Amino acid sequence: MTAPAGKADGPHPTFESSAMTLPATPDAAVCIGRFQPFHNGHLALLRHALSLAPRCIVVLGSAQQARTPRNPFTWRERAEMIGLALPPKERERLRFVPVRDHYELSRWSRAVRHGVAACLADEGLAPEATRVLVGRPEDEGWNELRRAAGWSGCAVEQVPGADGTRLRDVLFQGAADIDAVLAALVDQVPASTRGFLRAWAALPFHAELVQEWRMLKRYREEWAAAPYPPVFVTVDTVLRCADHVLLVKRGRAPGKGLLALPGGFIEQRETAWQSALRELREETQLVLPDEVLQQALRRAQVFDHPDRSQRGRTITHAHYLDLGDRPLPEVQGGDDAAAALWVPLQELAALEDRFLDDHFHVLDHFLGLIEPDTEAARG
């Protein structure tokens, strides 16, 4: 099971009898995870779930995130990996529910419950159909779902073994010799996953992900000698004008080519507001007086989820500005932004999987882009 916003992958589970009371025959077992990639621990988890109920609903987390070294596979690719690992009769009993990351536990829980309920309705089951949640009770998402939904739980214990983070490191570090990589994974992932990875590694974006993985590895190594794990402080700006929002296209890793909010690191002798204005101008070449931007400021919010950035613990101060219905100011990319562009608000939702880190969620916080009845990711 995975917590909201993609909790770190853990070792694969083993199974023991749970003290929790289960329905005699639940209508559905629910498994939640990121499956990046699908490994033998996941396979054992699903087979255990299939032993409990006639159908297993697999909730795929991080469903609308852009491809990154942490989320290299789309939710459809992960669904394919899972299906390939099971024989046809078991595969037919699986149902997949993609759910986007949320950085608020209760909202993530609502998204999961909504997606599972919609899936059961598609199966012709009534709202009171029984579910059993299969996973690890130490995950905060597990307890929130059982509390909010009233689902039964089947606890599993974890043992040392393959985990997603280490498998991805092996995959990217050994990218030059895919045969050696697959040989190293022979005891940790199903044969079907190895076949999938062989074909996937030949796709064009694989090389870009390898380069980004190497950049992030160097970045973390540079801070490894610090006496304490570093906490980075950044700023971002949501600038609205005439029902458009100002975005940049990243010119370098991490997130090269992805959409992002104008922003960057706070300077030593600047306030958060001063840094926000400086970064806004550096990355977009926006020419507006400080007084105009100050009058446009509507709100500021701190975004501090521990997993919001690939670079490590990064806390950002986001500022929301609204310039009203004036003509769109001229902009162009500068500094580490390859381009700056005004994007119509109605187009943002369709671009969700092209944003850096949690920047789409920052936009959603201020602009309300995700309707309550579409909390689960688009299928």
**pLDDT reported for residue 1:** 45
- Give pLDDT tens digits for 120-146: 999 999 887 889 999 877 777 888 888
**pLDDT reported for residue 23:** 57
Shared domain for 108 and 23, answered yes or no, is: yes
Amino acid letter, residue 142: W
- Name the nearest CA neighbour of 138 among 8, 40, 312: 8
CATH number at residue 199: 3.40.50.620
Q: Distance (Å, rounded) from C-alpha 303 to C-alpha 307?
A: 11
For residue 282, tell me if it sits in a domain. Answer: yes
| C-alpha pair distances (Å), 52 with each of 56, 89, 208 | 9, 15, 41
- Name the nearest CA neighbour of 358 among 325, 318, 322, 328: 318
Shared domain for 215 and 364, answered yes or no, is: no
**pLDDT reported for residue 206:** 93
Q: Does the pTM of the predicted model rise above 0.95? A: no
| C-alpha pair distances (Å), 60 with each of 36, 100, 190, 232, 370 | 10, 8, 19, 29, 18
Exposure class string for 310-337: b at 16+ Cβ within 10 A, else e: bbeebbbbbbbbbbeeeeebebebbbbb
Shared domain for 217 and 246, answered yes or no, is: no
For residue 88, tell me if it sits in a domain. Answer: yes
Shared domain for 347 and 239, answered yes or no, is: yes
Residues of the chain with pLDDT under 70: 1-23, 157-162, 372-379
**pLDDT reported for residue 145:** 87
Whose tokens are 């500005």? That residue is: 321
**pLDDT reported for residue 68:** 96
For residue 249, tell me if it sits in a domain. Answer: yes
- Give pLDDT tens digits for 253-269: 999 999 999 999 999 99
**pLDDT reported for residue 127:** 81
For residue 379, tell me if it sits in a domain. Answer: no
Shared domain for 220 and 239, answered yes or no, is: no
Instruction: Kindly calculate the radius of gyration of the chain based on its CA atoms and give it in whole angstroms.
Output: 22
Residue 256 lies in domain: 232-374
**Total structural domains within the chain:** 2
Strands 314-322 and 297-303: antiparallel
**pLDDT reported for residue 241:** 98
- How does DSSP classify residue 352? G
Shared domain for 262 and 205, answered yes or no, is: no
Torsion region of 6: left, alpha or beta (phi above 0 gives left; psi -120 to 50 gives alpha): left
**pLDDT reported for residue 13:** 46
Torsion region of 147: left, alpha or beta (phi above 0 gives left; psi -120 to 50 gives alpha): alpha
Shared domain for 140 and 24, answered yes or no, is: yes
Shared domain for 358 and 292, answered yes or no, is: yes
- Name the nearest CA neighbour of 58 among 38, 76, 79: 79
**pLDDT reported for residue 136:** 78
**pLDDT reported for residue 14:** 43
**pLDDT reported for residue 19:** 41
The rounded Cα 26 to chain-centroid distance in angstroms is: 30
Shared domain for 267 and 309, answered yes or no, is: yes
Shared domain for 220 and 238, answered yes or no, is: no
